[in-house]
Amino acid sequence: MINAFLVFNGQGQPRLTKFYTQLDTSIQQRLISEIFALVFNRPAGSCNFLPLPPLLAPSSASSSDAASSDLPSLVTYRHYATLYFIVISTATESPLALIDLIQVYVESLDRLFENVCELDLIFNFESMHATLGEMINGGVVIETNMDRIVAGVRSQGAVAKRPVNSGNSLTSMGGTNGGAGTGIGATLGMGGNFVWHGR
């Protein structure tokens, strides 16, 4: 089971936080800061999997083995350009499948925004939630086909036109997409070739 899906930028600012397990808000906030600190401070060359910080262990302690299999225990992440995509899951989930799930999520966003950048995600956070909602429901992966995910998000009308003012797109005004040229957000992907800072 997936317990949480988080997206941070390089400064530790959350761009998406979706918890599928009920936690107190104070624990969620502490967990978010601890997870980012763990992931951000990983040395180069480390793998993309690490154990969950001990913050959740005392609050979720249970004596039954069936309940303990639902406890979050693993952090899986990938780093694309300026963003960290992080999945917190139980031990029953395959870490390699979660790496692929993150890849599908990023590629789906890239298809929706045509070379997605951090600014697209800031100003269209509804699209991030809609895309994640097409993929995961209640902590269970329900869809990994990118064509279906993108079609589902577009049918909801969750993708805003760029720019939001006067209805003109950046391409018709002579610019390129999203944050290109703004100096704020590096492009997450270009034509399907993603810049992945793997570890």
pLDDT exceeds 70 at position 106: yes
- Domain map (residue ranges) of the chain: 2-194
Question: How many CA atoms lie less than 13 Å away from 35 in the CB half-sphere?
Answer: 32
pLDDT bin (cut points 50, 70, 90) of residue 69 is: low
pLDDT bin (cut points 50, 70, 90) of residue 72 is: confident
If you average pLDDT over residues 143-165, what whole number do you get? 78
Domain 2-194, what fold? Beta-Lactamase (3.30.450)
- Report, in this order, helix, strand and coil percent for the chain, each rounded to 5: 35, 25, 40
How many other CB atoms are found less than 10 A from the CB of residue 46? 12
Cα 96 to the chain's mean position, in Å? 16
If you average pLDDT over residues 55-66, what whole number do you get? 48
pTM: 0.73
Give the tens place of pLDDT for each residue, 129-143: 999 999 999 999 999
